[in-house]
Each structure stands twice: as structure tokens, then as C-alpha cells.
Amino acid sequence: MSQPTGDPAKTLHSETSSFILHDVRRAYEPLLLELLEEFPCVGLIGPRQCGKTTLLQALPEGWRRYDLERAADLQVVAHDPDLFLRLNPRRVAIDECQELPELFPALRVAIDERRNERGRFVITGSSSPYLMRSISESLAGRIALVEMAPFSWSEVRPHDGPSLAKLLCDRTTTAADVVDALRPRGDVRDAHEYWFWGGYPEPWLRGTDRFRRRWQEQYVRTYLERDVARLFPGLDRNRFRLFLGLLGGLSGRMLNYSEVARSLGVSQPTARDYFEIAHGTFLWRRLPPFDRDAARRVVKHPKGYLRDTGLLHHLLRIPDLDALRVHPQMGPSWEGMVIEEILRQLNALGVGFDPYFYRTSAGAEVDLVLEGELGVIPVEVKYGSVVGRRELRSLRDFVAEQGCRLGVVVNNDSAPRLLDERIVGVPFSWV
């Protein structure tokens, strides 16, 4: 692949050089098989159409799959869930399990009857805040969860070298090690096309720009009229439709619930409920503030963004890359895409972590802070190809104050490079 150079804006024009994917191996496959060796049940959760059902094809020979959105399968399982699981005690995959709440206590009983046996069940679920409650109430300690997402950039453009997330998980990795280990996944045009269209699999597998636009329109309609309407029958759908329109402009910004409530003509608790619905159905990701520093006044408002930039650009009615690059939401969109890529890579590795953002009342800000098995790692996101030393001040101070082993700047440079002793710059196309 050719290497990007200079300002990424100068390498783009209004035509789209679409690349169509044919056979994508999901990054979650090794994790799924590993967890089946350790737990009696594995749950795949995530938004509709992100590839959960397709991933079930990676299960070894002999597994049987039941789709609870298929009437015949639902009837077989729902007639007597306890008896069904006694007749099918192992190697059973149950798709869209949120369709049958009675399944969860039956699974608990079936698992406890053979508590030491591993790799018996796989369940999948989407678009249901109730799903997590059912799992926590009935299957705690019996199930391993994998949060899936649409295609990541690293899945769209795979290579044999380590990903940025994998390097960050090794607590011996230094900033200099990142520079030496990373390899490019594609050129700057490929990365920008992925940014514009997002990662939902079907548009990439079936290909044309016309189809992608139609698919996005139908996805939003189905989300609103099927999933949300069914899960929350008392919801004012017209108000919630207006809320979806507002989400595009709120993506990447700190949230003021009272302002959103006034814009929608609803109460502040109702506005909060709308955000909870969007977050619980995997459309929106909420980032809480990182407030470990008692010596500084940290902004307490949460921040959030639409998880998939393709849907974001659809809701904003942005027609192409040229329009995106001059749109007021260009910066927040790029930031959200980079953050989501890192989180998707970490989730596919099965890493335990929590994501935050950091901002003080004095204006110091870090776009993403990762805390967990990998330690504390701050990540700053820039669109340009050059990062000045003054732009690194907040990140440099955070690294020093928190004792971080390294900090990361993701941008559009031509190659990774050390920006400071413990700060590494990484082009998104290399992530």
C-alpha cells in the first residue's frame, strides 16, 4: 500500500473509491472460542446487524442454532424452556435471546446441574436494556460477555502485525516500542472512506454507495419503529424521533440535559431517559469524566457520541467526504470514530477496562482515558497530520501527573513518531 503524506485534505476529492469486502474474519472469533473453554455460557451482545449471527458460524461442528426471531424456533424453545435445555444440554446457540425472558432462569438451572462443564451454550442479544438486567439477575458468574460492534478499521484492513490495542495491553510497551512495531493498514483514502461510511457489515459486503445510503435509512427506521417501539411501548415516538435528529449535533460534545430537554419540549428526566435508551441499545456511547485527581476541578458533565460514524453522517445528511470535511461536526465525528476504533479493538481482545474523558475547569482536556488491565493510558485525537508542542500540553501534563507509561496521539501523519519521551503519535491508518 502507498504511504500517505502531507495534509490528508489534499489527497481527497469528491469521488468515492469504494472497496468492497468479501470475506472478513471477525476479531472476536478467537475470544469466543477461548471463553468457551472457560465458561459454560458465552453471551454475544451488541447492536443489530453488527455480525453476531455470522460469528456463530465460527463455532465448531456439531453446534445447533435456534433463532428466536424465527417463529418456528421460538415455539420450540418457548413451549417449555427447562425441558428444551434438558433435551439439548450442550452445544446450543440461541440467537436474539431477549425475545424470550423466560429463557434466562431456565439457563441458570441447566448450567447449575452441570456446573463444571464448559462450552455448553452461546446466546446473542441486541437492542435491549432488559437483556443486561436478565443476565445479571440469572446468569451472574455463569456467563462471559463479549460486546460486539460493527466492523472496526482493523477488521476492514487486517494485517499480521500487532494492533495499537494489543501493544497497549502489554504493560512493558513503551512509546518507542509502538513506533517500531506498528505497520500501516491502508492509505489515507481508505481510512477516510471507512470514516465516512462507518462499519456496519452489510453495506461493506454488498457495496454500492446507493445501497449504503438506503441501508442506513432503513436501519434508522427499523431501530425507531421496531426495536424502540417494542421495548418501550409507552414512549412518545415523535419526540424520540426528534431526539435522534438532535443526537448528530450532540455527538462528541459534553451533555447538558436541561438544554436538550428544552429543545425537545420534555422534562429533564425524560431527556435523560432518552439518552439511557440510546446508550442501552448500543446506538450511543456515554463517556463519564475521569476524576481521580483531587487537586484539580474536573468537569463533571458526561460526554457521548454516536458509536457508528456512518449513522452519524446519515443523521446529519452529509452527502460525501468533501461535505464532511467542512461540516461543523467534522472534528467530533473524527474524534468519535478514533475512540470507537480503540474500544472495539480492546473489546475484541477481551480486555478489562473502562473508558473516560478528562477535562478540567481550567481547560485542560484529554479525549479518551483508558483505565484497567492496561494501566492508565490517555489518548488525544487530532485530524491534522502535524501536532505542535503546545497542543500536547494537556496530554503531557496528564502523563506526568498520573504516572502513565505512555500517552497516544492519533492523527493523520504519514508514519508513527515520538512526539515526546512518553508520547507517541500514530496515524489512524496504522491503528
For residue 255, which of 224, 288, 228 has the smallest C-alpha distance?
288
Element (H, E) at 269: helix 268-280
Q: What single-letter DSSP state applies at residue 293?
A: -
CB atoms within 10 A of CB 407: 26
pLDDT tens-digit readout, 269-320: 999 999 999 998 899 999 999 987 655 677 788 899 999 999 999 999 999 9
**In the predicted model, is pLDDT for residue 247 greater than 50?**
yes
| 42 within 8 A of 147, measured Cβ to Cβ | no
What are the structural domains, with CATH classification, of the chain? 29-147 (3.40.50.300), 153-430 (no CATH)
Q: What value does the mean pLDDT take over residues 332-339?
A: 98
Would you say the C-alpha torsion 149, 155, 160, 161 has a positive or negative sign? negative
What's the pLDDT band for 151 if we cut at 50, 70, 90?
A: very high
Q: Report pLDDT for 15.
A: 40
141: alpha, beta or left, given left = phi > 0 and alpha = psi -120 to 50?
Answer: left
pLDDT tens-digit readout, 77-127: 999 999 999 999 999 999 999 889 999 999 999 999 999 999 999 999 986
Element (H, E) at 376: strand 375-381
- Dist. CA 375–CA 195, nearest whole Å: 28
**In the predicted model, is pLDDT for residue 10 greater than 50?**
no
Element (H, E) at 121: strand 121-125
Q: What single-letter DSSP state applies at residue 360?
A: B
Q: What single-letter DSSP state applies at residue 97?
A: G
Q: What is the pTM of this model?
A: 0.91
Q: Which residues pair with 134 in a beta bridge?
A: none
Q: Please report where in the chains the cell 456511547 appears, as a residue.
A: 285
